[in-house]
Amino acid sequence: MTGGLRYLYAVADAQAAPRIQSSKISGIEGGTVEPVVHGKVLAAMSTVPASDYEEAALNEHLQDLDWLTPRAATHQAVNAKLLELTGSIVPLSFGAIYRDREGITAMLAARAEEFAERLRELRGRAEWIVAVERDPDAGRDSEALHGLEVEIAKAPPGRAFLLTKRRDEVAREERRAWDALVVERTAAALGQVSDRIYREELIDDSALSAVARFSVLAERSRDGELARAIGDLSAAEAARGYHVRLSGPWPAYRFGGLPREPVASS
């Protein structure tokens, strides 16, 4: 593809340029992913049509899920391949657009030391997503709830109504307490097998089964250890009506963008 705009996927170590060039990764809109090198770092980019990626057009497209979804998936797939090829990338969010290579080079020059340091922090590590979910069909037969159920069954209609409201309140309180306990156990288990943990904000909707979602930065050498820890945790919590799920490894979208903190040494 000639002309057009430059779409950026990630920043990586400049030494990876030959591997990226020879891999001929297919990017968004079918453009081949190419490295733009400056000093010790590079930006992985492909060319996209200006008609769709100029600011106004792109902003409009971002509201269209049918347009956005496959391209976001391609963005993710390209960065997963770049991570595989290089061992460490600083992934960029969807929609990083530059007019030409000169603009990319200027950006790399301005942030070269920052990128180099971030790449050192992330080398040999990947991001995982850990989700804690509550089984909506799992019941709670606590002593308090059982006692209220017995009272409701014996009570006249007016009192039964009030007791039912009390039972629902107790159920919510117990659910919140169990949620907090399971989240605490999950965070503690993750802390044993990872470098950094970030608890993501969830939509506040009691109808949803999601209880917590963590982004986790861990050394690739501990992939198996992390998977076993989550498997053991999920098996233990399943009896209480919870499931703990692991997905990844992914490029470090969350930790590539957070303020830098020391990463634990192995």
The pLDDT value recorded for residue 32 is: 97
8-state DSSP, 213: E
Q: What is the residue type of 134?
A: R
pLDDT at 145: 62
Closest CA to 241 of 138, 141, 171, 145: 138
Per-residue pLDDT of the chain (266 residues; tens, 9 = 90+): 446 899 999 999 999 999 999 999 999 999 999 999 999 999 999 999 999 999 999 999 999 999 999 999 999 999 999 999 998 999 999 999 999 999 999 999 999 999 999 999 899 999 999 999 988 765 556 666 666 676 777 777 777 777 677 766 766 777 788 888 889 999 999 999 999 999 998 876 555 588 899 999 999 999 999 999 999 988 888 767 889 999 989 999 898 865 544 433 33
Give backbone dihedrals phi and psi of 260, rounded to 5 degrees, phi first. -65, 140
Residue-range domain boundaries for the chain: 5-123, 127-257
CB atoms within 10 A of CB 54: 13
How far is CA 19 from each of CA 44, 82, 148, rounded to the nearest angstrom? 11, 9, 67
Q: Which long-range contacts (CB under 8 A, 24 or more apart) does 210-213 make?
A: 210/131, 210/132, 210/133, 210/134, 211/132, 211/133, 211/134, 211/179, 211/182, 211/183, 211/242, 212/131, 212/132, 212/179, 212/183, 212/186, 213/129, 213/130, 213/131, 213/132
Contact 186, 214 (CB under 8 A): yes
CA distance 95 to 75: 9
Instruction: In whole angstroms, give the CA distance from residue 97 to residue 56.
Output: 12
- The alpha carbon of 133 is separated from its chain's Cα centroid by a whole number of angstroms, namely 16
In Å, what is the CA distance from 101 to each residue of 8, 11, 98, 152, 218?
11, 14, 8, 73, 33
